[in-house]
Structures are given as structure tokens and as C-alpha cells.
Structure 1
């Protein structure tokens, strides 16, 4: 892959992951009834959905900015890790949601690192 194509591929990967996470946040905010059963199954009260949605929205916002990209990546990785831990706690260690969270986490970091491939410093592509 050429040096100039790496940041472009990184941004495509980053935008794809961000769109999926923002869609999840919008469902949490606008249609919490859809997720109420799943929240109770995992052991969390549905009233926590707005807080989780705002963590996602702020994390994605930070992830897509140049200066806060590393912090956003860390926040979103922690969020996805919490989701994996929640599923593992109830015996769903290799369920589809866990695999999706793992894939999103990998794509998150790949996208962020590829965005910085021009200068060699992650997250600082020019």
C-alpha cells in the first residue's frame, strides 16, 4: 500500500467504525425499549443507556479529531472491553456480540494507526 493511500484507508476504517458506534448510541438514546431486554439479561438497568450512549458519542467525537484521537481510541477500547467483560460474566464469552466488539476494537486501532502513517506518529496524518 502506498504511503498516500494509508491515511485514506485509515480514515475509511475509522469512519466505518465510528458510524457503527454512533448508530448504537442513537438506538440507546432514541429507542431504549429495543435494548431494555438485552440490558436486563446482562444485569444492567435500562436507565443506564443514556449514560452509555453519551460515553460513545463523546468517545467517537474525540476519536475523529486529530489532537484527541488517542484518547478517543482509549475510551472506545475501554467501552468495547466493558461490553466483552459483561458478556463473559454471564457465560457468553464467544457470542456474536463479543466477536463484533473484538472486531470493532481491532478496526478502531488499525484505522487510527493508519491515519498517522505519513509522519510515522499515530493519529497525526497530514
Structure 2
């Protein structure tokens, strides 16, 4: 068995799959953050249904947090920090869905799906993360 290390090059297909996965996560989270900045009635109504009230200030704050963390994720030197912060954010969203009894596979686990794409894309494109989390083959 060999361990993937920083000395092993990242293949072009793996790097591109990682970029595509990361790109999808970035686009989704930037749009999610942007609609919270407005905030449209659908945002405040959803927040109210989740038990947080229909506060436009809270919606805007969450939008700013989402955008800042996503920008950190999208910049290579700060991508691991951004991934860690977004993981916490997505975990909070999942906990909120568990608390109100949202459907498991469509709502509650959506944060998990997004987190897997986020970390999977980063792992495929970042040698430093491959060194930190080495999978054996």
C-alpha cells in the first residue's frame, strides 16, 4: 500500500473534478448568501418557520457570514480555513433542520451533501490537504 503524499502529483482529471465540485459549492453558497442580503420574503419566512423569527438583520448577517466564508474557501491559501468555517455553518443548518423535524434526505442531510462536495473538491485539488488527510490505495 502506498500513501498519497505531497510529493505525489495531483492528476489533471482529479484536479479538474476538484475544481468543478468546488466551483459548484462556491456558486451555490454565493447565491445563498446573496439572497440573504436582500433579504427576500422567502428567506425571512423560512427563518421564521425554523424558529429564528423573521429578522432581516439576522438574515443579512447570515448572508455576510456565508459570503465571507465562501470567499475564504475560494482563495487557495485560505481554502482550508474557509472549508472549516463552512463546515461549522453547514452543521448549524443541519442542526436547525433536525430541531424542526425537516425531511431527512432532502433538507436535513443537504448540509452533509454540500459538505462532502466541499471537502471532496478541496481534497482533489489541494496537495496540502492530501498530505494532512492521506488516503491509502
Question: TM-score scaled to structure 1, two decimals?
Answer: 0.86
**In 1, are the aligned partners of 2:19 and 2:125 still within 8 Å (CA)?**
yes
Q: Unaligned stretches of 5+ in structure 1?
A: none
Name the Cα RMSD after superposition: 1.9
Structure 1: 4+ residue segments shifted above 2 A: none
Question: Could you say which residue in structure 1 is the equivalent of 2:129?
Answer: 122
Q: Which stretch of the first structure deviates more once superposed, 37-46 or 14-23?
A: 37-46
Aligned length: 120
Superimposed CA distance per residue, residues 105-124 of structure 1 (whole angstroms, 9 cap, x where no aligned partner): 110000010011xxx42289
Q: Secondary structure at the match of 1:122?
A: helix
Question: Could you say which residue in structure 1 is the equivalent of 2:21?
Answer: 13
Aligned-partner Cα distance in 1 for 2:64–2:40: 13
Question: Could you say which residue in structure 2 is the equivalent of 1:84?
Answer: 94
Task: Choose between structure 1 and 2 for higher RCO, CA contacts under 8 A separated by at least 6 residues.
Answer: 2
